[in-house]
Amino acid sequence: MEVTMPRRAPILGITGLVFILFGLLSHYFTYNPLEGFFSFGWYSLLHLIAGVVCLLWYFARGSASLGEFVRQRSTRYGANAAVYSLFFVALVAMLNFLGTRYHYRVDVTAEGVNSISEQSREVVRNLDEDVHIDAFVEGGSDPALEQLIEAYQYHTDHLKVRFIDPQVHPELAQEAGVSQVPTLRIRQGDRSTLVTATDEESITNGIHRVTTKERKKIYFVEGHGEPAIDDVKSPDGFGLFAKDLRNQNYLVDTIFLAEVEEIPEDAAVVVAAAGPKDYFPREIDILDKYLRRGGRVLFLLEPRRAPRLVELVEKWGIEVGDDAIVDQQLRLFQGVTLGLDPIISSYGDHPAVKSMRQRTIMSLARSVRPADTIPEGFTVKSLAFTARTSWAETDLDRLFKRSEAQLEDSDMRGPVSVGAAASGSVKDAGGEGDGEFELAAYGDVHLAVNKFWHQLFNDSLVLSTVGWLAGEEELISIGPRAVRASRAHLTPAQARTVFYLSVLVIPEAILLCGIAVWWRRSAL
């Protein structure tokens, strides 16, 4: 006797196969390798159980006529459709594989925000040796930076990048001289530089800096009791300052002006700090001539020190106050007190400090600001300002002898300018040639000594100023590109929801509806 299969039995079998297929697909795409392959999620497990139940029901109700069902014309049409679907899926998978193997990027945004500029492409295309970038970022991950690095790597195979969490690997951060996050250490061979900004312009200039064979030289004036550049242990040395300059791919040396006729031609920047002993008139004359032929000098001043050095700075449109900065400080168990360690809370509109957003600290500083009368053709701007709670104390005898300070009408109220920069053409300065001079002056030497170098962001301020004087910011200028279309940032839960709906739930629902329609039409 022949057993007749109920009309709903075959569709139960097909539905069971669909459930099992999507259950396995869901498990393949969502399983966690750390938990093992057989750790099924709720979606996968539910579909597998439903699929097995449907198949068992199908075989229990009509397995005797399975062969007859297979031989039906509608079944053959359904099998052909399944084969075509599998072929299409295989084709899509092959295209994805080829797309991964042979990658090609097309940026269709109006401003090209998803690709690097032509200047950056030119820099990386000319790489003939590997450039290594160690990206010290919080948590060891920065999606925006990773996307930017991928845009660089699309144009070269010589860019090797690794992302490092400085909390997990503090020894690597210490070895690289990293003092803030994010910081990129870019190196090629024995040349390296540190970049604290993660925009395209900074990264491209960093790559260009380490791949350029010529290294710029920084001279530190000595002979007046200035901090020593080889002293990294005592709190009053310039050792950390010089070390970070070398990390920025500069050559560093000292110069005693009393023993030379002029500052060497290979000097990119000269650092002149105020020491216990004043400069000789001849040394001042050498610095003055160096500026008039297009030199670059960083002056670090102190209250009541190096008066001849102060006179030289004032000749270039910068006024140096005969004062000391006093600021309010909050001390535990003492409340608000007065101190001589002012906090720098804001910066001027100048290329030397354009990247500065964080606070810095000085110790025993004097005011430095643009003069009321600036020589014709000169450009003089303030670089850094103290807080509103500070002032420039002019009664230095009372301050230093009796340790007393009081804000009076003759004092300058905060915010007080404690740094200024001057630039202009050599001809306007009375020199010869078509070049330009540049100088920057801060009212504090302690800003750059070992004790304060890594406090707050002193190192960033000084290195940024040196970079401007050395002309490093002029290497490559890449203007900002506006993002015309906004991006959607999804949480992990939202991303999983989008994945399930778009990849599993909606296709599965469409497939089941198609099977139901096909089965109903074939049964008519």
Q: Which residues of 81-91 are buried (b: 16+ CB within 10 A; e: fewer)?
A: eeeeeeeeeee
Does any domain span residue 391?
no
How much is the pLDDT for 94? Answer: 76
Whether residues 293 and 371 share a domain: the answer is: yes
Residue of 417, 394, 421, 416 whose CA lies nearest to 406: 394
**Residue 27 pLDDT greater than 70, yes or no:** yes
How much is the pLDDT for 440? Answer: 97
Label residue 345 by pLDDT band (50, 70, 90): confident
Does any domain span residue 295?
yes
Where in 214-275 does DSSP place strands (E)?
Answer: 217-221, 251-255, 267-273
Residues 6+ apart with CB under 8 A from 330: 336, 337
Does any domain span residue 479?
no
Among 160, 195, 230, give the residue marking a domain's end.
195
How much is the pLDDT for 14? Answer: 74
Q: Give residue-wise pLDDT tens across range 297-344.
A: 999 999 999 999 999 999 999 999 999 999 876 554 444 567 888 999
Query: How distant, in Å, are the alpha carbons of 132, 168, 212, 388 from that of 165?
Result: 17, 5, 29, 37
227: CATH: 3.40.50
Q: Give residue-wise pLDDT tens across range 482-503.
A: 444 445 556 667 777 777 777 7
Among 145, 163, 195, give the residue marking a domain's end.
195
Residue of 200, 110, 238, 207 whose CA lies nearest to 480: 200
Whether residues 59 and 142 share a domain: the answer is: no
- How many CB atoms are closer than 10 A to CB 516? 13
Residues 6+ apart with CB under 8 A from 171: none
Whether residues 376 and 451 share a domain: the answer is: yes
Across the range 127-151, mean pLDDT stands at 91
Cβ pair 263, 213 in contact under 8 A: no
**Residue 10 pLDDT greater than 80, yes or no:** no
Q: Which residues on neighbouring strands pair with residue 419, listed in sequence order?
A: 384, 442
Residue of 117, 107, 116 whose CA lies nearest to 150: 116
Q: Print the domain residue range for 166.
A: 118-195
How much is the pLDDT for 68? Answer: 58
How much is the pLDDT for 243? Answer: 87
Q: What is the rounded distance in angstroms from the CA atom of residue 187 to the CA atom of residue 127?
A: 13
Across the range 145-154, mean pLDDT stands at 89
Q: Give residue-wise pLDDT tens across range 44-98.
A: 888 888 888 887 877 776 544 555 555 656 556 666 666 666 677 677 767 776 6
Does any domain span residue 361?
no
- More confident position, 221 or 479: 221
Strand 318-320 to 267-273 pairing: unpaired
Highest mean pLDDT: which range of 9-18, 208-217, 282-291: 282-291
Does any domain span residue 347?
no
How much is the pLDDT for 522? Answer: 64
Residues 6+ apart with CB under 8 A from 196: 180, 182, 183, 184, 202, 355, 460
Q: Of the ranges 79-93, 409-423, 468-482, which one carries the lowest mean pLDDT score?
A: 468-482
According to DSSP, residue 363 is labeled: S
**Residue 234 pLDDT greater than 90, yes or no:** yes
Whether residues 30 and 176 share a domain: the answer is: no
Across the range 382-391, mean pLDDT stands at 93
Average confidence score pLDDT of the chain: 82
Cβ pair 428, 378 in contact under 8 A: yes
**Residue 365 pLDDT greater than 80, yes or no:** yes
Across the range 344-363, mean pLDDT stands at 89
Q: Give residue-wise pLDDT tens across range 157-203.
A: 899 999 999 999 999 998 888 888 899 999 998 888 888 888 887 88
Does any domain span residue 183?
yes
Q: Give residue-wise pLDDT tens across range 100-110.
A: 666 656 655 54
**Residue 2 pLDDT greater than 70, yes or no:** no
Q: ∠ CA 175-180-184 to the nearest 5 degrees? A: 65
Whether residues 376 and 448 share a domain: the answer is: yes
Whether residues 253 and 378 share a domain: the answer is: yes
- More confident position, 9 or 154: 154
Whether residues 372 and 269 share a domain: the answer is: yes
How much is the pLDDT for 333? Answer: 44
Whether residues 130 and 172 share a domain: the answer is: yes
pTM, to two decimals? 0.62
164: CATH: 3.40.30.10
Whether residues 455 and 493 share a domain: the answer is: no
Q: What is the rounded distance in angstroms from the CA atom of residue 224 to the CA atom of residue 274?
A: 8
Whether residues 310 and 380 share a domain: the answer is: yes
Q: What is the rounded distance in angstroms from the CA atom of residue 321 to the CA atom of residue 204?
A: 40
How much is the pLDDT for 1? Answer: 43
Label residue 372 by pLDDT band (50, 70, 90): very high
Does any domain span residue 452?
yes
According to DSSP, residue 195 is labeled: E
Whether residues 314 and 432 share a domain: the answer is: yes
Q: Of the ranges 35-49, 197-211, 221-235, 442-456, which one carries the lowest mean pLDDT score?
A: 35-49
How much is the pLDDT for 441? Answer: 97
Q: What is the rounded distance in angstroms from the CA atom of residue 492 to the CA atom of residue 506?
A: 20
Q: What is the rounded distance in angstroms from the CA atom of residue 258 to the CA atom of residue 24?
A: 82
Across the range 139-160, mean pLDDT stands at 90
Does any domain span residue 408?
no
Q: What is the rounded distance in angstroms from the CA atom of residue 212 to the CA atom of residue 131?
A: 12
Considering its fold, how many domains does the chain have in total?
3
Whether residues 292 and 374 share a domain: the answer is: yes
How much is the pLDDT for 9? Answer: 55
Residue of 271, 272, 367 whose CA lies nearest to 324: 367
Cβ pair 237, 449 in contact under 8 A: yes
